[in-house]
Amino acid sequence: MTFYSFAKGIFRLQFRLMGWRVQGVENMPCEGPVILAINHVSMWDPVVAACSVPRHVSFMAKEELFSLPILGKIFSRLGAFPVKRGHGDMNAIRQSLAILKGGGVLGLFPEGTRSKTGEIQKGMPGMVLLMEKSQASVVPVKVRGTKHMFTKGWGKITIVLGQPLTAQMLKAPEGVENRREWIADRIMQAMIELPEAK
Range of the domain at 79: 25-193
Domain presence at residue 9: no
Domain presence at residue 8: no
Q: How sure is the predictor about 131, in pLDDT bands with cuts at 50, 70 and 90?
A: very high
- pTM of the prediction? 0.90
Domain presence at residue 188: yes
DSSP state letter for 65: G
Domain presence at residue 32: yes
Instruction: Give the pLDDT of residue 36.
Output: 97
Domain presence at residue 6: no
CA–CA separation, 68 and 91 (whole Å) = 20
Pairing mode, if any, of strands 137-144 and 34-38?
Answer: parallel
Scored b (16 or more CB within 10 A) or e, 73-108 reads eebeebbbbbbeeeeebeebbebbbebbeeebbbbb
Supply the mean pLDDT for the chain.
Answer: 88
Please list, in sequence order, all residues whose beta carbon lies within 8 angstroms of the beta carbon of residue 170, skipping any fewer than 6 positions away: 183, 186, 187
CATH number, domain of 157, equals: 3.40.1130.10
Domain presence at residue 2: no
**What's the domain count of the chain?**
1
Pairing mode, if any, of strands 137-144 and 158-161?
Answer: antiparallel
Give per-residue pLDDT as tens, 47-67.
899 999 999 999 887 777 777
N residues, the chain: 198
